[in-house]
Amino acid sequence: MRRIKSLRAFASIAVGLFVAFTSHQVISLAALGIFTLLYGLRTLYAAPKYLPIALIALVTSFLSITNLSSETNFILLATIWGVAQAAMDFINRDLISAGLALALAILFALAPLDVVSAIGFFGAYLMLSGVHLGIAAYSPKK
C-alpha cells in the first residue's frame, strides 16, 4: 500500500506541475486523461470490489482524450473524476484524500469557472493531493 501511495503521490505532483505551468486546455485534458487512465488501470487490478470506480476512471480517461477541445468537457470530467476519486479514497479509509477530491468535485460542479481557473484549480488539487499522499506514504505506521 505504501508503494501505491508513493507512486500516486509522484504522479499527482508530476501532473500537477505540468498542468500548473501549461495553461493550455488541450494539454491539461490530455494530462487528465493519462492520469485517470493510469488510475483506472491500477484500480482495476487492485480488487474486484473497485470495478465500478475503475470503470468510471477509464471512461473519464477515454472521454477526456477523445474530447480535447471543449472546456465544458474538462469541467464535467474533472467533476466526475473528483467524485470517483472521493469514493475510492473513502472506501480505502483515506478521509483527507476523499475530502480533497470531494472539494474539487463540489468546486467544479457549483462554481462558474472559466477554463484557465479550472485548469489552475485542478493543478492545485493535484499538488495538494500529491503532497498529502507523499507524507502518508512515508509516515510511521500506527
CA dist., res. 26 & res. 3, Å (int): 31
pLDDT at 107: 92
Give pLDDT, residue 30: 73
Give the model's confidence band at 25: pLDDT under 50 very low, under 70 low, under 90 confident, else very high: low
Q: Is the pLDDT of residue 67 over 70?
A: no
Lowest mean pLDDT among 15-19, 40-44, 112-116, 122-126: 40-44
pLDDT band at 72 (very low <50, low <70, confident <90, very high): low
**Residue 71 buriedness (CB in 10 A; 0-12 / 13-18 / 19+):** middle
pLDDT at 133 over 80: yes
Residue 26: count other Cβ atoms within 10 Å of its Cβ.
11
pLDDT of amino acid 129:
85
CA distance 87 to 52: 10
pLDDT greater than 80 at residue 66: no
